[in-house]
Structure 1
Amino acid sequence: MILLRDILYKVTIDKVIGNTAVAIRNIDFDSRKIGLDDVFVAIRGTVSDGHSFIKMAADKGAIAIVCEEIPSETINGITYVQVEDSHQALAMMASNYFGNPSEDLKLIGVTGTNGKTTVSTLLYDLFTKAGYEVGLLSTVKILVGKKEFKATHTTPDSITINEYLRKMVDAGVEFCFMEVSSHGIHQKRTEGLSFKGGIFTNLSHDHLDYHKDFKEYRDVKKLFFDRLPKTAFALVNADDKNGPVMLQNTAAYSYTYALKSHADYRAQILENQFNGLLLKINNNELWVRLIGAFNAYNLLAIYATAELLGLETIEILQLMSTLESVDGRFQHLISEKNITAIVDYAHTPDALKNVLETINSIRTGNESLITVVGCGGDRDVTKRPKMGNIAASLSTKVIFTSDNPRNEDPEKIIAQIEAGVGAEHFKKTLSITERKQAIKTACQLAEERDIILIAGKGHETYQEIQGERFEFDDFKIVQELLKALNK
């Protein structure tokens, strides 16, 4: 039996009406899921305000309401708890409800604009190969040991996080690697969690539809490091100018990694090819199957984290040489006609630039680079012309197309992308709204040894249009199209 007062531990409470010694069944912030003897937490969201659903929750049998503003009319038999911040309260309550599972794990958070999924997933792979029971909370999937669950958000809600952490503890998991998004930090979904370490990959233009400006976006990321305990480690990319900013107020042990700057962990790219990288990490050479400078940073962060978590250097190097790219992250195939197709999640200007520069650094210049790219709807509009400019500047030919238009007109999105293309590059651009047709056109234009980059959706197996999700997998589609052209 769980009492209301037990799950309110460490929650900042302003006022209580009723009895906190009542037994509770479940906790939720969705009034539709509330049942008899549940606790409803009223959250002020970006779309709706949970306070509007307090009466609904009460009618459905809630025994307690946690809110920032107690309703003018209260109901006898229901306990009302007024808190300063419902988001923070929910996170603390969720941790308490599930028995604070993060305290029984070595939980490592990975934050930054690009690289979160690659770093967290490959750390999961490396530690699994090392013989440990490992958990993963990522954009792509949630793993409890080897059991897989579908992910819906980069950083899930507080209840979901703690529910899976509890599953991990019960399954004997020792290490958990978790993507931590700016949304998750800002909405306090990670409050109440006990992190043993934090990793900062980089920071570039993204989510300015949500954050009012870049400074706020950066400062929200910094909050994650500000809240790390002195027993944890903070590992940051010293080549990113925002890396040192993350460490300014952290109590954690601070470490840096870099390819260009002085740092605790350093790497040098000796060879960069389509079949892998030859790296020198802290004077140790190793060959890895991942490609590009951006992956050299990711691999260096993985190396440093593994060492900070106690693995031996020789074991880390051996395991890193067996790692393979994450789905939708520089995932590539070579057709029978020797055409290379690359699918990558690059959906920010910086990520797109990194991928294109990587391809250009490997190719001889005799091949054409054909890029298929779009931008998601209902998201940051300011990055669209930047994406257009980068794609046109660094490609031989560009096809602008639909990504996940969501509730926007895809042709208007494409027009905003095209607005960033310089006059000198406009002749090499095409606009084909239908994404499959755009990919097909790229395949038809490609000749032997040419390279096709399909950017933006990566691992996603759907396309979201006007509130509906339709099956759409970039990698499967280009694979089928290139195979058909070989006949």
Structure 2
Amino acid sequence: MTKNPDGGNADPLIAMRGAESRLREKNISFSWVGRAPEGFGALCVDSREIKPGDLFCALSGSMVDGHDFVESAAAAGAVAAIVERNAEAAIPTLLVSDSKAAAAHLTSFVAGDPAAGLQVIGVTGTNGKTTTVLIMRHLLGSLGSTAALGTLGLFLPDGSHLPRGRMTTPGPVDLTADLETVAESGATYLTMEVSSHALDQRRVEALQFSVAVFTNFSHEHLDYHADMDSYRNAKLRLADLLQADGTAVINAEDPAWESSAFAAVNRLTFGQLDHADVRAADVRHTPKGSRWTLVTPSGSAPVELPLLGDFNVSNALGAAAAAHVLGADPAVLASRLATAPQVPG
């Protein structure tokens, strides 16, 4: 449930006209069936959490369809329901072109757009998201206070850790609540894992990413995606969510990322290949990790990484490349990589 910025879900109401304006701004078409209420107290995507005066958003999932619970929401006191298809209901319904995108944008609107003051860095790929996000949080500490969100939960700048549910990327209501927590912590940066499920289900649709990191791509999640092309295309949607001056940071060693999806955005590549923009040169593996030279467009520096394996060299490079985009100095990055954290658990 996302409540209005003034707290509570009774008074003052969130003006429905404001919600409609946000939908128009985001090119989500809509029409009312029945008379639109003047306002609502909170936005809910779970009919079991409805309180009198709330607005219910029906989401179609792979297991459960929220449209089946519009009547339950009405019985609990919802003033209206957002739907993607006509639904028999005792309350007005707002028929939208995409209820998942509507939920993401409206939860952000209701909460006062908590990500507006953050630089958000998203990481997607089959493997390495968690490690890359946590290394990046460590590196960006040289630039400002940084939070991290993903499989292991929410890590705040003061070191506190808030465990979360099983989803790599939370649904729009929980994500907005986490963004509020991050904003209240005083963070400047948020590094976060962005799963293919989240991208396909529009959970992060309201975010504008400063940097999007693409780690690697391999056979996975075909229990959800129809085929490998669908899986890859879901990942590539992250490039569409970059802000106007944002940068896609791409693993040069993975041919899956050779795509026209990056044609209209700033690009920076990373890897151990000679043509990568940010690369690891002269890699030598040791019993404790690896030694190599970090090469960036703004200079080079020797690195001693305390994480084992080539895959962690790649994770560290992705994190370092993103930090480079945001202005981190190569020597500072190398120094911080020497104390890169092990992934908890």
Question: Normalized against structure 2, the TM-score is what?
Answer: 0.89
Residues 91 and 158 in structure 1, CA contact (< 8 A), matched pair in contact too: yes
The 3-state SS of whatever aligns with 2:204 is: coil
Q: 1:64 to 1:94 in 2, by over 3 A?
A: same
1:318 lines up with 2:335 in the alignment: yes
1:230 lines up with 2:239 in the alignment: no
User: Partner of 1:174 in structure 2?
Assistant: 188
The 3-state SS of whatever aligns with 2:229 is: helix
> Alpha-carbon deviations, 1:344-367, whole Å to 9, x = none?
xxxxxxxxxxxxxxxxxxxxxxxx
**Distance between the aligned counterparts of 2:275 and 2:309, measured in 1?**
21
Alignment of structure 1 residues 111-130 onto 2, 5 Å = 111-128=124-141, 130=142
User: Partner of 2:172 in structure 1?
Assistant: 158
Q: 1:16 to 1:250 in 2, by over 3 A?
A: farther
Q: 1:108 to 1:131 in 2, by over 3 A?
A: closer
1:70 lines up with 2:86 in the alignment: yes
Alignment of structure 1 residues 368-383 onto 2, 5 Å = none
User: Partner of 2:39 in structure 1?
Assistant: 23
Residues 229 and 252 in structure 1, CA contact (< 8 A), matched pair in contact too: no
**Distance between the aligned counterparts of 1:18 and 1:167, measured in 2?**
37
| Structure 1 residue 23: Cα displacement | 2.7
Q: 1:143 to 1:79 in 2, by over 3 A?
A: farther
| Structure 1 residue 249: Cα displacement | 4.1
**Distance between the aligned counterparts of 1:261 and 1:113, measured in 2?**
24
Aligned length in residues: 323
Letter in 1 for 2:100: H
Letter in 2 for 1:65: A
The 3-state SS of whatever aligns with 2:190 is: strand
Letter in 2 for 1:314: A
1:296 lines up with 2:313 in the alignment: yes
User: Partner of 2:30 in structure 1?
Assistant: 14
1:47 lines up with 2:63 in the alignment: yes
Residues 37 and 80 in structure 2, CA contact (< 8 A), matched pair in contact too: no
> Alpha-carbon deviations, 1:1-51, whole Å to 9, x = none?
322232341352331134546232221111111111111111111112111
The 3-state SS of whatever aligns with 1:196 is: strand
**Distance between the aligned counterparts of 2:188 and 2:246, measured in 1?**
16
User: Partner of 1:209 in structure 2?
Assistant: 223
1:96 lines up with 2:109 in the alignment: yes
Residues 248 and 262 in structure 2, CA contact (< 8 A), matched pair in contact too: no
1:140 lines up with 2:152 in the alignment: yes
The 3-state SS of whatever aligns with 1:7 is: helix
| Structure 1 residue 161: Cα displacement | 1.1
1:80 lines up with 2:93 in the alignment: yes
**Distance between the aligned counterparts of 1:223 and 1:18, measured in 2?**
35
Q: 1:177 to 1:250 in 2, by over 3 A?
A: farther
Deviates more, 1:93-102 or 1:38-47: 93-102
**Distance between the aligned counterparts of 1:248 and 1:31, measured in 2?**
37
Of 251, 263, 266, the residue aligned with 1:253 is 266
1:309 lines up with 2:322 in the alignment: no
> Alpha-carbon deviations, 1:161-195, whole Å to 9, x = none?
11111221122110000100000000111112111
User: Partner of 2:4 in structure 1?
Assistant: none
- Structure possessing the higher relative contact order (Cα contacts under 8 Å, 6 or more residues apart): 2
**Distance between the aligned counterparts of 2:191 and 2:19, measured in 1?**
25
Runs of 4+ in structure 1 deviating by more than 4 angstroms, as ranges, are 18-21
Larger Rg: 1
| C-alpha RMSD of the superposition | 1.7
The 3-state SS of whatever aligns with 2:121 is: strand
| Structure 1 residue 299: Cα displacement | 0.9
Q: 1:188 to 1:240 in 2, by over 3 A?
A: same
**Distance between the aligned counterparts of 1:21 and 1:281, measured in 2?**
58
| Structure 1 residue 131: Cα displacement | 6.6
Residues 94 and 162 in structure 1, CA contact (< 8 A), matched pair in contact too: yes
The 3-state SS of whatever aligns with 1:57 is: helix
**Distance between the aligned counterparts of 2:327 and 2:82, measured in 1?**
42
User: Partner of 2:8 in structure 1?
Assistant: none
Letter in 2 for 1:255: L
Residues 228 and 251 in structure 1, CA contact (< 8 A), matched pair in contact too: no
| Structure 1 residue 117: Cα displacement | 0.3
The 3-state SS of whatever aligns with 1:6 is: helix
Residues 212 and 247 in structure 2, CA contact (< 8 A), matched pair in contact too: yes
Q: 1:132 to 1:29 in 2, by over 3 A?
A: same
**Distance between the aligned counterparts of 1:315 and 1:193, measured in 2?**
29
**Distance between the aligned counterparts of 2:197 and 2:149, measured in 1?**
15
Residues 207 and 241 in structure 2, CA contact (< 8 A), matched pair in contact too: no
Residues 230 and 253 in structure 1, CA contact (< 8 A), matched pair in contact too: no
Q: Which runs of 5+ in 2 are unaligned?
A: 1-11
**Distance between the aligned counterparts of 2:32 and 2:74, measured in 1?**
16
The 3-state SS of whatever aligns with 1:231 is: strand
User: Partner of 1:479 in structure 2?
Assistant: none
